[in-house]
Amino acid sequence: MKEVHNDSGVPLKPVYMAEDHRGEEPPPGSFPYTRGIHKDMYRGRLWTMRQYAGFGTAAESNKRYHFLLKRGQTGLSVAFDLPTQIGYDSDDPMANGEVGKVGVAIDSLEDMEILLKDIPLDTVSTSMTINATAAMLLLLYQLVAEKQGCPPEKITGTVQNDILKEYAARGTYIFPPVPSMRLVTDLFAYCQAELPNWNTISISGYHIREAGSTAAEEVALTLGHAIAYVEAALAAGLAVDDFAPRVSFFFAAHMDFFEEVAKFRAARRMWAQVMRDRFGAKDPKSQALRFHTQTGGVTLTAQQPLNNVVRTALEAMSAVLGGTQSLHTNGYDEALGLPSQNAAELALRTQQVIGHETSVPQVADPLGGSYYVESLTDRVEEEALAMMAEIDELGGAVRCIETGWTQRRISDSAYRFQTRIEAGERVVVGVNKYANDNDDKVEITKVGPRHQAAQSRALKRLRAGRDQAAVARRLSDIDRTARGTDNLMPPLKAALADYVTIGECCAVLRKVWGEYRPPELA
């Protein structure tokens, strides 16, 4: 009989039996949380339906947020454009052609005020996918919440703040790793004192998986990065049980349905053991891995895009069966451009159908005890633990990124998977099998140059109306603090409150710390 492999290259048996896994797991809500972090999981409350959205100007994105909230979305998820992500204002020559393209353009407090207009931040939880400039975007969010009169303890949500995966897989970094890690731990310390219910980091395997890793590599690299953040926080003088309960994770859901379910279960089990045994965490909230999931972007096809509705539904179901805490479902047209309003609404409805019509949420870990799923869970854990041991031997996650080892590991897996597609060994419906010349015609959302022109005009007005002496003082404070060891969050907040722009803040930090260049480009 021909040997069959899954997407990670794991050979699959035609049938699995009790002896194929290591034994029964404790019930959900119990260490090591393989079966879920809550005893009843979704019976009391469904996962947060957090649709990722943002494009063009703040005013346009604000309209999309209100549209989604009115249709039952339960949390915001903000996408920022590339200039915002890498610290350039919209009128900077480096931003030319990219303003508002892959997310919303945010240059200053004025933009954030428009973005969040009439959205009650004391009741809405917000996730912000931002890393190199995460500290600044969180502070802008806090400043808007304060203007609404929202108490600090009611400001809830997550900032991604995962700079290591930017070096490894995504590329929206600014500064070298050491000062970047300082910004991460400064944000940890600041939130512990000022924003007690804000999730200070969402350590992302999503972009590692999207870049081509296997499921086990996604878990290993993500947890390896998490270990580096915990070590950095401990080195900065923070106590593990003070910051670890606010650490969260972000994973992809791809098309190998059962392996994805197993991956989520294995990641929970591994993290619980790392936190208890390696770092001595005593608080169960420090040990329980909480995560957001997004359905696969690279699994979507430009050919026959309506097929993506089915792909997204299956991926979303695997995330729910795997015990996710929040979920974003991709629009069927995202292989072609920004999601249209219709596609965004259908993506949200996909979650709502799973949540309210399938009865799946009525039982915690419904695939627990499946010989196949339990065997896959053990297999993912074994492979991921072996890779994490290799990372430790090589000097840790930061060192692996600096040498390019992580990037090579991901690219090798991506190459192997693409080779299987091109050879026809891995079928992609509508691409290498069942293709036709009459692909579905769908509306494509486009962002044109008018957005950059509008942002540039707004910036010109903003700068003309500011107290220039105050701006100079604020930038000088940032420079002085960056050269020392004090927490950078307070001087950054003071500057942003006086309408200093993100680009201006980052220009000061670039001058002090320099910019990162990958090993092959250095």
The per-residue pLDDT for range 106-115, each reduced to its tens digit, is 999 999 999 9
Q: What is the pLDDT of residue 144?
A: 97
247 forms bridges with which residues in the sheet?
A: 201
Query: What is the spatial distance between Cα 261 and Cα 253, in angstroms, rounded to a whole number?
Result: 9
> Which tops the pLDDT comparison, 101 or 493?
493
Phi-psi group of 149: left, alpha or beta (phi > 0 → left; psi -120 to 50 → alpha; rest → beta): left
- Would you place residue 521 in the very low, low, confident or very high pLDDT band (cuts 50, 70, 90)? very low
**Is pLDDT above 60 for 395?**
yes
78 forms bridges with which residues in the sheet?
A: 53, 128
- Would you place residue 132 in the very low, low, confident or very high pLDDT band (cuts 50, 70, 90)? very high
- Of 258, 184, 207, 240, the C-alpha closest to 16 is 258
Whole-number average pLDDT of the chain: 94
Q: Work out whether the CA dihedral 205, 211, 216, 222 comes out positive or negative.
A: negative
Q: What is the pLDDT of residue 520?
A: 64
The structure's pTM equals 0.91
Q: What is the DSSP letter of 104?
A: B
- Would you place residue 4 in the very low, low, confident or very high pLDDT band (cuts 50, 70, 90)? confident
- Phi, psi dihedrals of residue 448, rounded to the nearest 5°: -100, -175
Query: What is the spatial distance between Cα 170 and Cα 168, in angstroms, rounded to a whole number?
Result: 7
pLDDT, tens digit (0-9, with 9 covering 90-100), for 240-266: 999 999 999 999 999 999 999 999 999
Residues 6 or more apart whose CB falls under 8 angstroms from that of 307 comprise 301, 332, 429, 430
Q: Do 90 and 456 contact (CB within 8 A), yes or no? A: yes
What mean pLDDT do residues 158-177 have?
Answer: 93
Query: What is the spatial distance between Cα 492 and Cα 194, in angstroms, rounded to a whole number?
Result: 14
- Would you place residue 522 in the very low, low, confident or very high pLDDT band (cuts 50, 70, 90)? very low
Joined tokens for residue 250 = 């972000």
What mean pLDDT do residues 414-437 have?
Answer: 94
Q: What is the pLDDT of residue 284?
A: 97
pLDDT, tens digit (0-9, with 9 covering 90-100), for 32-41: 999 999 999 9
51 forms bridges with which residues in the sheet?
A: 76
Residues 6 or more apart whose CB falls under 8 angstroms from that of 173 comprise 86, 131, 132, 163, 166, 167, 180, 516
Give the strand pairing for 11-12 and 4-5: antiparallel
- Would you place residue 135 in the very low, low, confident or very high pLDDT band (cuts 50, 70, 90)? very high
pLDDT, tens digit (0-9, with 9 covering 90-100), for 346-393: 999 999 999 999 999 999 999 999 999 999 999 999 999 999 999 999
- Would you place residue 1 in the very low, low, confident or very high pLDDT band (cuts 50, 70, 90)? low
Residue carrying the six token digits 């009169």: 149
**Is pLDDT above 60 for 54?**
yes
Query: What is the spatial distance between Cα 278 and Cα 455, in angstroms, rounded to a whole number?
Result: 48
- Of 158, 196, 136, the C-alpha closest to 48 is 158
- Of 37, 32, 29, 24, the C-alpha closest to 281 is 32
In sequence order, which ranges of 254-338 are alpha helices (DSSP H)?
257-273, 284-287, 307-321
Query: What is the spatial distance between Cα 310 and Cα 303, in angstroms, rounded to a whole number?
Result: 14
pLDDT, tens digit (0-9, with 9 covering 90-100), for 431-484: 999 998 777 777 777 777 788 898 999 999 999 999 999 999 999 999 999 999
Residue 512: is it exposed, middle or buried by C-beta count within 10 angstroms (0-12/13-18/19+)? middle
159 forms bridges with which residues in the sheet?
A: 128
Q: What is the pLDDT of residue 51?
A: 82
CATH code for residues 30-422? 3.20.20.240
Run of H or E residues at 127: strand 125-129
Identity of the amino acid at 462: L
- Would you place residue 13 in the very low, low, confident or very high pLDDT band (cuts 50, 70, 90)? confident
Joined tokens for residue 451 = 């957005």
Q: What is the pLDDT of residue 19?
A: 85
Q: Do 266 and 218 contact (CB within 8 A), yes or no? A: no
- Per residue, the 3-state secondary structure of 408-466, as one string, reads HHHHHHHHHHHHHHHCCCCCCECCCECCCCCCCCCCCECCCCHHHHHHHHHHHHHHHCC
Joined tokens for residue 60 = 């346009």
- Phi, psi dihedrals of residue 12, rounded to the nearest 5°: -110, 135
Question: What is the Cα Rg of the chain in Å?
Answer: 23
Long-range contacts of 89-95 (CB under 8 A, 24+ apart): 89/459, 89/501, 89/502, 89/503, 89/504, 90/452, 90/455, 90/456, 90/459, 91/452, 91/455, 91/456, 91/459, 91/460, 92/503, 95/452
